[in-house]
Amino acid sequence: MTATKTCDIAVIGAGVFGAWTAHFLRQSGASVTLIDAYGPANGRASSSGETRIIRMGYGPDELYTRWSGRSLLLWREFFARIGVDLFRRTGVLWLSSDSDPYTAGMFDVLSRADVKHEKLAASDIRKRWPQMIFEDVSSAIFEHESGVLMARRAVQELMRDTVSHGAYYLSGVALPPKTRGKLREVQIANGERVSAGQFVFACGPWLPKLFPSIVGDRIFPTRQEVFFLGTPAGDNNFRSPQMPAWLHHTHPDRPYALPNIEERGFKIAFDRHGPEFDPDSSDRVVGQTSIERLRAYLKQHIPALQNAPVIETRVCQYENTWNGDFLIDRHPEAENVWLVGGGSGHGFKHGPAVGEYVSARLLHNAPPEPRFSLDSKQADRKRAIY
Ligand SMILES: Cc1cc2nc3c(=O)[nH]c(=O)nc-3n(C[C@H](O)[C@H](O)[C@H](O)COP(=O)(O)OP(=O)(O)OC[C@H]3O[C@@H](n4cnc5c(N)ncnc54)[C@H](O)[C@@H]3O)c2cc1C
């Protein structure tokens, strides 16, 4: 006889989206079972990085700015409650140009949303951060209260907390469900079953494998490389507050960097989409060509680090929708099944807002945001949200 677990809501996937969704559902009194194949924020998950930037700027896009603000508040409340602060207020610097409409729109939205920020000229940037050289940057926006989340640990703490408040955690692989009509249960690969009234599949880059006919061509995982460089001994120029988190917005490869946090080194990556990636089976080793490309960038922009040793690399995947908007919608053939994902390289910070949004839809039938619907997702690739 195989065991069947029964609950109000089953959440499949304990990355940042699933963990926050389970948290809010449980807080509302629902009985929740959370299932993960490899474990919360495991090494293959998109939420597994050491650190993720949380910034308010989204160009002229007010929705994500407001969600970031709400999320930062909720992250900080959670950290205060558990007594473990996993937020580092490094500030976030947008390096841009006067003629860039994205940052011009961002300036207006940040002002409207009451986000503390400052506009800087090229001369201010040179004076404040002499360790960086940006000839192509003529202006910048600095977000004072933004910073960095200690990502993997934050998700694992949230999971611990949610389980300690009564959610049930099951380690196992949920098999692709048969979704004609109402779903009664999910089968786990080891033979167990979880029966529930509603199901949330928050499986990030695995969603196309679980629902190939629905999202197979609407979420595409890409390989993304991250580098940690050893900074010179005794040099504090690459730590906060001497260095903020920053995004080189005018550069075609969209580099971004985080200061040396917890002695892991200066973190840098390119935000352009890499090749297709399989979250289960693809290797996560960085090639020499990527390191050479990085060194060419450093030589031009951060000369003190051009020969710095690469002390750690990570390969992760983005789970992109066509334009970068999240996917949060019901399965078209099973009204009690929700698909939650499409973080598209910028989703981590929004975990709390996503969890709050999903639980309000499930528990109170709150009206949906059209931008997150399945219908709005196209198969071509025109990234618009960063
Ligand atoms: C290199 C990199 C840098 C990034 N930087 C930032 C940043 O600075 N700021 C930011 O806000 N965002 C950033 N992001 C994006 C962000 O990390 C992701 O959008 C977010 O983590 C996605 O979370 P998720 O919960 O949707 O997916 P995941 O974290 O991948 O979680 C999905 C979970 O589902 C589980 N699962 C899958 N299939 C099954 C199954 N069949 N049965 C059971 N469990 C299953 C998996 O094991 C996994 O744990 C970055 C991403 C990458 C890769």
- At 248 the pLDDT is 98
> Which ligand 1 atom is the nearest neighbour of the CA of 38?
47
**249 phi-psi bin (left φ>0, alpha ψ -120 to 50, beta other):** alpha
* Probe residue for ligand 1, chosen from 12, 203, 278 as the CB with the greatest number of ligand atoms within 8 Å: 203
Give the residue carrying structure tokens 């006067």: 98
The protein residue whose alpha carbon is closest to atom 46 in ligand 1 is 13
From the CA of 28, how far away is ligand 1's center (Å)?
24
* Overall residue count recorded for the chain in this entry: 386
- At 344 the pLDDT is 98
* Probe residue for ligand 1, chosen from 206, 284, 383 as the CB with the greatest number of ligand atoms within 8 Å: 206
- At 1 the pLDDT is 57
pLDDT along the chain (386 residues), means of 10: 88 98 98 98 97 98 97 98 98 96 95 96 97 96 98 98 98 92 96 97 98 96 98 96 97 97 97 97 96 98 98 98 97 96 98 98 92 95 92
- At 367 the pLDDT is 87
Task: Determine if the pTM surpasses 0.95.
Answer: yes
From the CA of 231, how far away is ligand 1's center (Å)?
28
From the CA of 46, how far away is ligand 1's center (Å)?
3
Any atom of ligand 1 within 6 Å of the Cβ of 267: no
Give 3-state DSSP helix, strand, coil % of the chain, rounded to 5: 30, 30, 40
Any atom of ligand 1 within 6 Å of the Cβ of 320: no
Any atom of ligand 1 within 6 Å of the Cβ of 152: no
List, in sequence order, every beta strand (DSSP E) within the chain: 4-12, 32-36, 51-54, 87-88, 92-96, 117-121, 139-143, 147-150, 168-171, 185-187, 193-201, 220-229, 245-248, 255-258, 266-270, 310-320, 327-331, 334-341
The protein residue whose alpha carbon is closest to atom 41 in ligand 1 is 174
H/E segment holding residue 283: none
From the CA of 359, how far away is ligand 1's center (Å)?
19
* Probe residue for ligand 1, chosen from 20, 21, 38, 46 as the CB with the greatest number of ligand atoms within 8 Å: 46
Any atom of ligand 1 within 6 Å of the Cβ of 38: yes
Quick check: helix, strand or coil at residue 84?
coil
Any atom of ligand 1 within 6 Å of the Cβ of 210: yes
In terms of Cβ atoms closer than 10 Å to its own Cβ (0-12, 13-18, 19+), residue 247 is buried
Any atom of ligand 1 within 6 Å of the Cβ of 46: yes
Pair type for strands 87-88 and 168-171: unpaired
Any atom of ligand 1 within 6 Å of the Cβ of 246: no
From the CA of 344, how far away is ligand 1's center (Å)?
9
Report d(CA 146, CA 12) in Å as an integer: 30
The protein residue whose alpha carbon is closest to atom 3 in ligand 1 is 345
From the CA of 173, how far away is ligand 1's center (Å)?
16
